[in-house]
Structure 1
Amino acid sequence: MVTAILTLLTVLGGTFAIYLIKDLIAHKKNLGPEKTLTALIVGFITDFFDTLGIGCFATTTLGFKVSKFLKNDNLLPGTLNAGHTIPVILEAFLFITVVKVEALTLSSMVIAAMLGSWLGAKTVSKLPEKKIQRAMGIALAVTAIIMTLKQLHILDLLGQGNKAMGLSGTFLIIAIIGNFILGALMTAGIGLYAPCMAMVYMLGLNPLVAFPIMMTSCSALMPVASLEFIKNDRYSRKGAIGLTIGGVLGVIVAVKFVTSLDLTILTWVIIAVVMYTSISMIKSSCRKTAATLVEMKQGA
């Protein structure tokens, strides 16, 4: 089973890499106004902590906001997916053999996430900027809330006593539908790690099972979603280059040199800033909506 999944990830990652490289070559004279070095630094930091379980979407959004990397927020979901695809696949390769999860549960949830991301990317890649801002704002708020629940060990309580390494019947169907929805939402910038972990806990699975499921789901769905964003030209090319290079380096450093790290204080800081970023993006989208209404009235 592990061999089949790793083969799938290799094919998906290879297909994505070829598609991305072709697009970069086709636009080599105009890769965009952003600074690749900024994205590289952000990618290194965020994928370093992603390897430790914090997640990279909310933190990357934060890094891009602080550095004012993107001039247009409608490029954010595509840049997050395309830029973190290779680093997350690398994470899956490094960690997928650690925990043995029942084959049907893992494969069905991964496929569901892939299908969800394919459908989600087709929708998100065509949304206007203000809707992207609003969706990202809500996504970050949800992420901050779930991270808070995790920090308070409320999610951990759900998993206490759980020993199952696989699901069947109604619970498996719920898990498949849930991961399909999470795969679609990830294309809007909602990280899959925390909500997937909560779902796994509530369905009675051993908490350790969350790691191979969420890592493999993300590494399988992100190439699928990214192809849609690249196809529709809704991502930052320099952002994708920087996040990929920095992210790979961050994963390698995290795996090789970090054995234990107290992330409690850091995680609380991230939660606070992510919530602030969420509120800022929602307020920004509301301002754009108000400005549009004023223009419409003046035109009338």
Structure 2
Amino acid sequence: MAQYPDKPLTLVVPYTAGGPTDRVARDFAEAMRKALGGQTVIIDNVAGAGGNIGAAKVARAAPDGYTLLLHNIAMATSPALYRKLAYKPLEDFEYLGMISEVPMTLVGRPDLPVANLAELTRMVLAEPGKLTIGNAGVGSAAHLCGLLFQQAIKGNMVAVPYKGTAPAMSDLLGGQVDLMCDQTTNTSAQIANGKLKVFGVTTAARIRTPQLAAVPTFDEGGLKDFRVAVWHGLYAPKGTPPAILNKLNGVLKTSLRDPDFLRREADLGAVVVTDERSGREDHKRFVMQETQRWAPVLKAVASAAD
């Protein structure tokens, strides 16, 4: 244990490179590297099945502290979305701590002929099934947010799933799809440079960063109390030795205080966790609560879609 780690760590990201969770992971990996005294942290993008392939890979990995998982809200939503999972989120992992929470934005191709959320809502309701809304695959944050938005306005759009957020964003920018509901970590730059039309952010108050300060909240757009945030946490395979788990939790907490990491996340509209959820037990308790919270919501959405 005294020499751990004495070789590079692998941080599995269960989504494509360039997507919002990948962005958080790469920023966090750099902060981890510094907290580990310069030890290399390798990003391994294992995308597919809404994050389930990458998560299952880590669940089966050797419990030696060298293969870790950085995952998002899907740790709590997957049990309600999939009848069969190759892993058990609450049983097959050691919880290491929460990292950040990221709000969502509803964005559209720049030539979409509506100016704000109210006009978009009227268009969706007037022409059900006409508009398309891209996502990063079934169970992704973009998919969930899009479903909840349609449920909230009692409207219907055609979902277009992709194998990750990066290809979905590419088609949105190219005009092949009309809309996408995605994390600020993936949309803030495109919003700031005017490449996307933005209809709202899912926070109670506006985000006070240069890229997002002008973006209205959903409340301002007339859709009250629409709140969706994507959180990220760090996990190790079940059975990892306690000494290594404690070491990794200490590395996580140090990384969350890294000035460069804090700055980069703030620029993207992300909120770095500073409360007790950075602890192992509180992290797991939070995911259990989120699992219970999302289960009835997702079942209602699925029933409405049927």
TM-score (norm 1): 0.24
Structure with more helix by fraction? 1
Structure with more strand by fraction? 2
TM-score (norm 2): 0.24
| Larger RCO, structure (CA 8 Å, separation 6 or more) | 1
